[in-house]
């Protein structure tokens, strides 16, 4: 695992992507810091973090797109997979390297509240809990990028997929609120989700029949439940969207509330995607 970790970390900084990633993050943070805190003389660094949660949509694909896809493309996975190292350790090594690259700009971001501190009293706990949330949110996005990179051998495709998924997740609460909270609107939304689910399933398994059966099953289940107990559907879409919305989990921290359940949420989602990555790499040996 150490060998993989070291090589990955080095490759980010012998190439351009590690620098590009850090530079982009720091540029955006610096820009918002200047505008929000310095120009407007605001002591709330947490709000800077709150308004730049979009950076990951662009920065994360840059970093994660090559992680596993490039190995497959260059056939170097044949070296790694035939070495006496388990798939779990390979994936963990790669993920930790990603997190480490991301950790470096985070350390630099930690200096901003100190700069502000020179000009007066500022709420440090609020600022640092926001940075912690920023770090955890970033790690979650990296795990999603890692997973999507394991699905393809084309780094560009991995980047586009990661961008699309993170962007969709960024907007998911907004999309949820387009639907009314009435049960029939929710039912319509659930049917659309079932359809989307079937498409993803088809892309993963390439089996049209299985995807069709899956869609039919989900659709029937939803229709039956809707006919029997329509009240179950009230506000369902909003609840589903809320559960999927990772960005929203930062809000409490930005307002200075240290919410343990949100930390657990970030850690669980990251662990889930790392686990899925391991499965996806492992599965390729069997197909």
Q: In terms of CB distance, is 88 or 259 closer to another protein?
A: 88
> Minimum Å distance from CB 196 to another protein?
27
Nearer to another protein by Cβ, of 90 and 241: the residue is: 90
Cβ contact 120:250 at 8 Å: no
Q: Which two tokens stand for residue 217?
A: 């099953």
The three-state secondary structure class of 234 is coil
Under 8 Å between Cβ of 35 and 29: no
The tokens for 140 are 């979650």
Q: Which of 35, 79, 164, 221 binds another protein (CB under 8 A)?
A: 79
Q: Which is nearer to another protein, 39 or 286 (CB)?
A: 286
Phi-psi region of 235 (alpha: psi -120 to 50; beta: other; left: phi over 0): left
Q: Does 207 bind another protein (CB under 8 A)?
A: no
By beta-carbon proximity to another protein, the closer residue of 4 and 109 is: 4
Q: Give the nearest distance from C-beta 152 to another protein in angstroms.
A: 18
Question: Coil, strand, or helix at residue 286?
Answer: coil
Binding mask 8-37 for another protein (x = CB under 8 A): ---x--xx----------------------
d(CA 178, CA 189): 10
By C-alpha distance, which of 151, 146, 92 is closest to 273? Answer: 146
Q: Which stretch binds another protein (CB under 8 A): 71-79, 221-229, 249-257, 261-269?
A: 71-79
**How far apart are CB 171 and another protein at their closest, in Å?**
36
* Residues within the interface to another protein (CB under 8 A): 2-4, 6-7, 11, 14-15, 74-86, 285-287
């Amino acid at each position: 695992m150490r060998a993989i970790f070291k090589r990955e970390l080095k490759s980010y900084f012998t190439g351009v992507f590690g620098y590009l990633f850090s530079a982009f993050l720091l540029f955006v943070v610096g820009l918002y810091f200047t505008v929000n805190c310095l120009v407007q003389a605001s002591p709330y660094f947490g709000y800077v973090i709150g308004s730049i949660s979009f950076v990951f949509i662009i920065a994360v694909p840059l970093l994660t797109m090559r992680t596993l896809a490039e190995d497959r493309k260059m056939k170097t996975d044949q070296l790694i997979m035939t070495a006496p190292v388990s798939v779990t350790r390979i994936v963990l090594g790669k993920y930790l390297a990603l997190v480490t690259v991301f950790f470096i700009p985070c350390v630099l971001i930690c200096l901003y509240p100190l700069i502000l501190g020179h000009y007066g009293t500022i709420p440090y706990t609020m600022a640092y809990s926001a940075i912690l949330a920023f770090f955890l949110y970033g790690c979650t996005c990296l795990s999603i990028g890692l997973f999507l990179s394991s699905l393809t051998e084309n780094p560009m495709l991995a980047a586009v997929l990661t961008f699309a998924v993170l962007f969709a997740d960024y907007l998911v609460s907004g999309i949820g609120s387009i639907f009314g909270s009435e049960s029939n609107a929710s039912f319509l939304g659930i049917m659309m989700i079932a359809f989307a689910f079937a498409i993803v399933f088809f892309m993963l398994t390439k089996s049209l029949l299985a995807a069709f059966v899956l869609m039919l099953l989900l659709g029937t289940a939803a229709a039956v439940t809707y006919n029997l107990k329509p009240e179950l559907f009230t506000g369902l879409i909003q609840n589903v969207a809320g559960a999927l919305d990772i960005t929203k989990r930062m809000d409490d921290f930005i307002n200075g509330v240290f919410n343990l359940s949100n930390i657990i949420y970030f850690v669980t989602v990251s662990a889930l995607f790392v686990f899925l990555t391991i499965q996806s790499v492992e599965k390729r040996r069997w197909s």
